[in-house]
Amino acid sequence: MFFRWDWLRPQLTAPIVPTLGPVHPDALTVGIFEDVLRAADTGNFLPYDKDRRWSGEKDEKALREVVVHRPECTLVPTLTRRGRGTVKVFAYGLCDSVVEEAAELAAKLAATHDVVNAWVVRPLGPDTAHPHGTRIQLKDFTTGPCPDPDGPVRPVTDWPASVQETFAPFAQTMAADGLTFLHARMQTGRCGPVLSAAVDGRIVGAIGPMEVLPDAIGRPQLMPQYFAVLPETRGRGLGRVLWRAAMRWGESHGAAYQLLQTEADGPSDRLCQSEGLASLGFTRTTSA
């Protein structure tokens, strides 16, 4: 075993795991960190890696040979060659000095691996004062029924053909939110359904794909979705209707929970907080 759990566990102020992202607190064990290092040796996806839906091979891997693991801190570097390349160092530790050490390591590894970007990812607890960065939120489907969305939402394929045809220009407009990638996946038939909202015969919002897969301990998890609403139609409650429809779908398809990442104090963050999601902590990503 590489990691000592009695060292690592007190440092895990938020449930974020290198190369995997957020995980349910119940799945946050030494085993999942060990799995990440083993996957780095093979280059394969872990069975519960959410990214296996999108690609045939794992792009980001942990740099096992340079992991720092001490009683007061743990630094886990990862490398991806996508784009111009990125090194991230996940900095686990209660002292602020862990960020400085992580930044130094990230810059060194970026030079060693000839990549452009070097970042430090630091988890922070849910009680962090004046947080900024990304909030990790938990929707627990076991605590009660999801409310009826009560709005013009249905799977894209259930709309009349004339409405379905408006998804392509909508996706192009919302390319920055990943909708063109989602549209390409939809066209190949290689993803779950996408829920959409239509107004005046055209699609103006979407969330998907809707998929439920087992997590590291076998619990059914509603996978993260792409989510966007046209700017000119915001303020009408369509985002909330879409989100509630997605949660209703997850509940009806047996999901136990969903984890979401939202920009602290952004529109999606405020929506999730108003819907009663539990805040599990934050991640703050800074340049090395």
Report whether 272 contacts 262 (CB < 8 A).
yes
Contact of 272 with 136, CB cutoff 8 Å:
no
Per the listing, tokens 């909508």 go with 170
What element of type H or E holds 100? helix 97-112
Domain boundary assignment for the chain? 5-129, 143-255
Cβ proximity of 30 and 3 under 8 Å: yes
**Do the beta carbons of residue 204 and residue 233 sit within 8 Å?**
yes
Angle at 266 between CA 262 and CA 270, to 5 degrees: 85
Give the helix/strand (H/E) hosting 267: helix 267-274
pLDDT per position in the chain (288 positions), as tens? 689 999 999 999 999 999 999 999 999 999 999 999 999 988 889 999 998 888 778 889 999 999 999 999 999 999 999 889 999 999 999 998 999 999 999 999 999 999 999 999 999 999 998 888 999 999 999 998 998 888 899 999 999 999 999 999 999 999 999 999 999 999 988 889 999 999 999 999 999 999 999 999 999 999 999 999 999 998 889 999 999 999 999 999 999 999 999 999 988 899 999 999 999 999 999 999
**Residue 201 CB partners (closer than 8 Å, separation 6+):** 162, 163, 166
CB 262 within 8 A of CB 277: no
CA distance 94 to 11: 6
* Cα 272 to Cα 135, 169, 253, distances in angstroms: 10, 27, 21
Superfamily of domain 143-255: Gcn5-related N-acetyltransferase (GNAT) (3.40.630.30)
Integer Cα distance of 14 and 23 in angstroms: 9
Taking the C-alpha atoms of residue 212 and residue 178, their distance in angstroms, rounded to an integer, is: 20
Specify the residue for token string 């085993």.
Answer: 31
Q: Whole-prediction pTM value? A: 0.92
CB 133 within 8 A of CB 145: no
CA 13/CA 273 separation, integer angstroms: 20
Cβ–Cβ under 8 Å, residues 183 and 171? yes
**30-89: per-residue pLDDT in tens?**
999 999 999 998 888 999 999 888 877 888 999 999 999 999 999 999 999 988 999 999
The distance from CA 134 to its chain's CA centroid, rounded to whole angstroms, is: 10
Tell me the C-alpha distance between 125 and 284, whole Å: 11
